[in-house]
Chain A
Amino acid sequence: GQQLNQSPQSMFIQEGEDVSMNCTSSSIFNTWLWYKQDPGEGPVLLIALYKAGELTSNGRLTAQFGITRKDSFLNISASIPSDVGIYFCAGQLGGGSEKLVFGKGTKLTVNP
């Protein structure tokens, strides 16, 4: 089945630093999504990408849909303490397949 390889597994950074994480897959996805999950909560959508090569920003967050459609990255600029949480990438095959395939997550810790 489809799998997403998300890296790094965890990151420890200082407040103000920039962060980068990525996802790769052996399968082609038609949609890439990035979610953030806080403890005891469900994932919250940060950015959705629908076209190969697409670069989309949401405030301090920027994500790109790889041109091969097999990868995506998420950058967070000037991190702040509330950025702490687990970030997940998710891919959607499309073409009638509606399920989301998730990576294992990147746990981000921001030291003030």
Chain B
Amino acid sequence: DAGVTQSPTHLIKTRGQQVTLRCSPKSGHDTVSWYQQALGQGPQFIFQYYEEEERQRGNFPDRFSGHQFPNYSSELNVNALLLGDSALYLCASSLARGGYTFGSGTRLTVV
């Protein structure tokens, strides 16, 4: 049973560019949340998707947007990248309001 799968594992982008990160939830899970983890910090909640809609959002600017597809997979898009967007981006899936399973993350470096 595959857990949460994220792609790519690493990528490097230039300031001002746009990036799309992808997440496939654990089998049977229908809810996907995204977190940003800066070096040496705990994860920070970006937003959560359920039934293809954004259900809750954290304190992140509109440059951060997302999407959930009918198969429950999800994308995180970040526009106009800043150096400060460099972080590990974690996807977590759950069943409705159940416990969360995290993926291994995508390490984004903005140069």
Contacts and interface: CB of A to CB of B under 8 A. Distances in A.
Contacts of A101: 45
B44 A42 contact: no
Interface residues of A, number: 22
A99 B48 contact: yes
Interface string A80-112: 000000001010000001111111110000000
B105 interface: yes
- Between B97, B99, B100, the greatest number of chain A beta carbons within 10 A of the residue's beta carbon is seen for B100
Given A42-B90, A45-B99, A48-B99, A103 B55 contact: no
A interface: dominant SS: strand
Interface string B47-59: 0100000011011
Nearest to A44: B102
Contact of B42 (A44, A98, A102): A102
Interface of A: 1, 4, 6, 35, 40-45, 48, 88, 90, 97-105
